[in-house]
Amino acid sequence: MHKIRIDIAHLIAGDFAAGAAMITFGAVLGKINLQQMFFLVWWEMIWYGLNEAICVNFFHVSDAGGSILVHTFGAYFGVACTYGFQPKRASNSINMQSSYQSEMVAVVGSIFLWMFWPSFNGGLSEGVTQHRIICNTVLGITGSVISAAATARILFGKLDMEIILNATLAGGVAVGSSCDLICEPWAAILIGMIGGILSSLGFAKIGPWIMESKVALQDTCGVHSLHGMPGVFAAIVSMIYLCTLEGKGFPADKFYFTDPSNYIEGAGTANEVQNAPGTYNDQAVAQLKSLLVTLAIAILSGLAGGFLCSMDCWKPIHSLFRDDDHFHHVLQKYPQHYLEICDEAIEYAKQAIYEIQAALIA
């Protein structure tokens, strides 16, 4: 009988999987009900586990911070499945807006994420590798704070809360696939700064453009800008950086199993007869394979999950970006002005009346 092993390493691995699900949740927040959420998480974990098994056991991906396996997978699974959650109606909803109070509460979350991101990236490592991961992650997210704030000032002449709450964390994603390899502090800071700029442009320019284009991507929390694009960038950085590791003191057999000829199927041990360790270039190719497979599995399974969740049996919510369908006695607790201003039904009725009046006048 197979027994499920429970120890610290497996709990952290479960935490990584939960992280992917929470990233996905950010893309469909306000458009999904509880029963859809339960099903979608169950569905996602099947494909998340399959993708991890392929990338780790076959390609031997180097991804200490989970930028490929967690952030990229969760983001692109989420943005793909949004097409099953009333994307056109959600894009036009006047309820999709933040408030000063909600942004102030979100600041607390961003601060906690910033503080605990290094331990997330280094949780499964030990010794000098863990030391290198934590230092590089701190430097990376420090760089993204500086570049995100600077980008907001350049674009708007002042700070923007959406960028400050999100893009300041992008450095943790950007260095995630190479945080155990980087030996130069300036490199970690530079990678984090570029990640912060990329994420800031995603929130300010790229995200709105994609939503208004024919793609019509409706991403509630901007997970594509915070986790998707920086995750892909992290994979590309790891490929480039791996090609520069020669002579930097890493063990000669660090990526031994990357070369398929050094792995005996079913034995789980190196082929001592051939004794030819995989090169850094071999590992760079493994990173590319893992990225492409992750994108393919995430997008295809996300589209399928969104389609399954769009079925009437799940009773899709009628009031987008509000809690009416989730919690009891919520309507009575809303301020009256909120019901008058933000109720979609009232707004649609007003718009219909305006169109009728315009037609009669014409």
* Neighbouring C-beta atoms of residue 126, cutoff 10 Å: 9
Beta partners for 270? 263
2-16, 41-55, 86-100, 319-333: which has the highest mean pLDDT?
41-55
> Do 199 and 167 form a contact (C-beta atoms < 8 A)?
yes
282 and 350: one domain? no
Q: Reduced to 3 DSSP states, what percent helix, strand and coil does the chain have, rounded to the nearest 5? A: 70, 0, 30
DSSP, residue by residue, 157-198: SS--HHHHHHGGGHHHHHTTTTTTT---HHHHHHHHHHHHHH
Report the chain's mean pLDDT, rounded to a whole number. Answer: 84
Q: Structural domain tally of the chain?
A: 2
Residues 210, 266 within the same domain: yes
Q: What average pLDDT score do residues 9-33 get?
A: 91
Burial class (CB in 10 A: 0-12, 13-18, 19+), 257: buried
Q: How confident is the model at residue 51 (pLDDT cuts 50, 70, 90)?
A: very high
Distance of alpha carbon 230 from alpha carbon 336, whole angstroms = 41
* E strand or H helix at 281: helix 280-309
- Bigger pLDDT: 331 or 133? 133
Q: Assess whether 85 and 142 both reside in one domain.
A: yes
Structure tokens at 89: 């109606």
- Read off the pLDDT band of 213 (50, 70, 90): confident
Q: Same domain, yes or no, for 162 and 102?
A: yes
Would 171 be classed as within a structural domain? yes
Q: Which residues pair with 263 in a beta bridge?
A: 270
Instruction: Write the CA distances from 212 to 19, 205, 217, 305, integer angstroms.
Output: 28, 11, 8, 23
Tell me, what's the pLDDT at 345? 59
SS3 263: strand
Same domain, 188 and 62: yes
Same domain, 218 and 356: no
350 and 226 part of one domain: no
Range from 194-208, 239-253, 264-278 carrying the lowest mean pLDDT? 264-278
CA dist 152 and 348 (Å) reads: 34
**40/161 same-domain check:** yes
Say if residue 52 is in the same domain as residue 178: yes
Q: Which contiguous run of DSSP H or E holds residue 339?
A: helix 336-342
208: left (phi over 0), alpha (psi -120 to 50) or beta: alpha
Are residue 257 and residue 130 in the same domain, yes or no?
A: yes
Contact indicator for 63, 177 with CB cutoff of 8 Å: yes
Quickly tell me which residue has 């649609």 as its tokens: 348
Question: Domain check: are 336 and 200 in the same one?
Answer: no
Q: Which pLDDT value is given to residue 87?
A: 76
Cα(164)–Cα(14) distance, rounded to whole angstroms?
Answer: 29
Output the DSSP codes for 224-238: IIIIIHHHHHHHHHH
With bands split at pLDDT 50, 70 and 90, how would you rate the model's confidence at 249? confident
- Residues 223-228, mean pLDDT to the nearest whole number: 94
pLDDT of 240 > 50? The answer is yes
Query: Does 323 fall in a domain?
Result: no
Q: Which of 73, 58, 65, 66 is nearest to 27 (CA)?
A: 73
Asked whether residue 177 carries a pLDDT value surpassing 70, the answer given is: yes
Amino acid 6: pLDDT: 87
* pTM exceeding 0.75: yes
Among 96-105, 173-182, 255-264, where is mean pLDDT lowest? 255-264
> What's residue 235's pLDDT?
96
154 found inside a domain: yes
Between 317 and 157, name the one with better pLDDT.
Answer: 157
* Pair 219, 114 in one domain: yes
Please name which of 324, 292, 316 lies closest in space to residue 40, comparing C-alpha atoms: 316
- With a pLDDT cut of 70, the percent of the chain lying above it is 84
Does 280 map to a domain?
A: yes
- pLDDT band for 276, please (50, 70, 90 cuts): low
- Whether 101 is covered by a domain: the verdict is yes
Domain with 347, as residue range(s), is: 331-361
> Can you tell me the mean pLDDT for 119-134?
90
The alpha carbon of residue 50 and the mean position of all alpha carbons in its chain are separated, in whole angstroms, by 18
Q: Is residue 326 part of a domain?
A: no
Q: Tokens representing 277?
A: 């360790």
Q: Residue 239 domain-assigned?
A: yes
CATH code, domain carrying 183: 1.10.3430.10
pLDDT average, residue stretch 75-82: 94
The pLDDT of 281-303, averaged and rounded, is 94
Residue 87's CB is within 10 A of a number of other CB atoms, namely: 18
